[in-house]
């Protein structure tokens, strides 16, 4: 059970198609857009970020988030749940994995040139709130080494046939238990799975 030993829970969060193709935290391809504005998807995202005080991102997901979410935080016309997520992103401790970035250009951000699994292992041993891993690039790397405690997937009812896969070349066998499930009015399935260890 995640966090059972008193350590932090590592939660991977992704958008995926029925054929397991991914989109990053702020990289919303055309197939995901119809689902992102649904109440179920917004509430799913809200539950995830409400429990987290650290975010892990790859460089691409970080740059896209930095370029889009700050404006949402200041947009009075935006949905209140989107503004809350945007404000959380601006304030939360952000760890970005990059070998090329030197200046993140966003407050509360640290850039690390290490394997995400090393940071995940360190964070898991510390007490505290959840660590939210946003976007496919880091989530897939952590899945490959069995370093996630929880996996939150918005399964969009689309098949695209190409693009990066959620399980990449395939991790070793692992059992997951469905612990949360809602379906949006657009047919997206917001599923939360806990790693059964």
Q: What average pLDDT does range 144-149 have in this prediction?
A: 93
Q: What average pLDDT does range 74-95 have in this prediction?
A: 97
Nearest one of 73, 194, 62 to 135, comparing CA atoms = 62
- Partners of 56 in the β-ladder: 95, 133
Cβ atoms of residues 27 and 21 within 8 Å? no
Q: Do the domain assignments include residue 91?
A: yes
Residue 45 has pLDDT above 70, yes or no: yes
Question: What pLDDT sits at residue 7?
Answer: 85
> In Å, how far are 31, 67, 83, 177 from 151, measured between CA atoms?
21, 25, 24, 10
Q: Do the domain assignments include residue 28?
A: yes
More confident residue, 10 or 29: 10
Q: Do the domain assignments include residue 5?
A: no
- pLDDT grade, residue 168 (50/70/90)? confident
Q: Do the domain assignments include residue 3?
A: no
Q: Do the domain assignments include residue 100?
A: yes
Cβ atoms of residues 23 and 30 within 8 Å? no
The helix (H) or strand (E) run that includes residue 111 is strand 109-112
The predicted-structure confidence for 107-138, as pLDDT tens digits, reads as follows 999 999 999 999 999 999 999 999 999 988 99
Q: Measured between alpha carbons, how far is 162 from 108 in angstroms, rounded to an integer? A: 35
Cβ atoms of residues 15 and 154 within 8 Å? yes
- The number of distinct structural domains making up the chain is 1
Q: Do the domain assignments include residue 2?
A: no
* CATH code, domain with 177: 3.40.430.10
The Cβ-side half-sphere exposure at 77, using a 13 Å CA radius, reads: 1
Q: Which domain holds residue 86?
A: 10-195
- pLDDT grade, residue 164 (50/70/90)? confident
Cβ atoms of residues 17 and 159 within 8 Å? yes
């Amino acid at each position: 059970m995640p966090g059972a030993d008193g350590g932090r829970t590592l939660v991977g969060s992704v958008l995926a198609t029925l054929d397991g193709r991914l989109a990053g935290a702020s990289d919303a391809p055309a197939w995901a857009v119809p689902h992102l504005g649904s109440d179920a998807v917004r509430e799913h995202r809200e539950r995830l970020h409400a429990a987290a005080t650290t975010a892990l991102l790859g460089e691409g997901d970080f740059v896209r988030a930095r370029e889009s979410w700050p404006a949402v935080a200041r947009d009075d016309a935006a949905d209140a749940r989107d503004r809350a997520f945007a404000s959380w992103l601006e304030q939360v401790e952000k760890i970005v994995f990059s070998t090329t970035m030197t200046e993140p250009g966003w407050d509360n951000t640290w850039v690390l040139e290490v394997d995400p699994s090393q940071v995940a292992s360190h964070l898991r041993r510390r007490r505290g709130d959840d660590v939210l891993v946003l976007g496919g690039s880091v989530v897939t790397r952590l899945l490959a080494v069995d370093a996630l405690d929880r996996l939150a997937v918005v399964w969009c009812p689309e098949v695209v046939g190409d693009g990066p896969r959620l399980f990449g070349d395939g991790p070793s066998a692992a059992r997951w238990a469905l612990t949360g499930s809602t379906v949006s009015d657009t047919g997206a399935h917001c599923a939360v799975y806990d790693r059964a260890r």
